[in-house]
Amino acid sequence: MLRKNEAIQQVERLLQTIKAEKKALEDISSQYQKEVEAVQAKYYKHIEEIRKNIKTYELELEKTAKKYKYALFDGTDVVDTQFGRLIFTIKFAVKRAKGVLEKLEELGWNEAIIIEKKVNWDELEKWPDERLIACGTERVKKEKIEYELNQ
């Protein structure tokens, strides 16, 4: 019987220690969360302002690059600068035209129709131009200018 009592006492000490450690973990986690929220509140406005600025500058960069596209990309598709590079790509994509869904239904080309009754544009990307024209759309050239920053 003495062994059982010793075992119970040891189990109780361990359970008490685990309970105390869990409480300590809960307390420190709560404090940690409060401090994280305080830091987020302190910097959030500034971070969002910088993100907005970056987006504005990216749009301005794209607009400028498109405006001077012929001068910048004369005979090349990559322009390296001191601070980064501009990359000019051309992609052919299916134009999202109105009335395509109705034409697809009329023509019975259901594989390009999503059950929610919207056009499956990924399927149309695979189609030949004649079929696109038949359902009221076409493949158009889309130009894209990207940038990379140097390390």
pLDDT per residue as tens digits for the range 6-34: 998 999 889 889 989 999 999 999 999 99
Alpha helices (H) along the chain: 2-67, 69-72, 100-107, 121-125, 129-134
DSSP state of 81: -
β-strand 84-94 against 139-149: which pairing, if any?
Answer: antiparallel
Q: What is the pTM of this model?
A: 0.55
Place of tokens 């500034």: 46
Contact (Cβ atoms closer than 8 angstroms) between residue 94 and residue 103: no
pLDDT tens over the chain, length 151 residues: 679 889 989 998 898 899 899 999 999 999 999 999 999 999 999 999 999 999 999 999 999 999 999 999 999 999 999 999 999 999 999 999 999 999 999 999 999 998 778 899 999 999 999 999 999 999 999 998 787 777 6
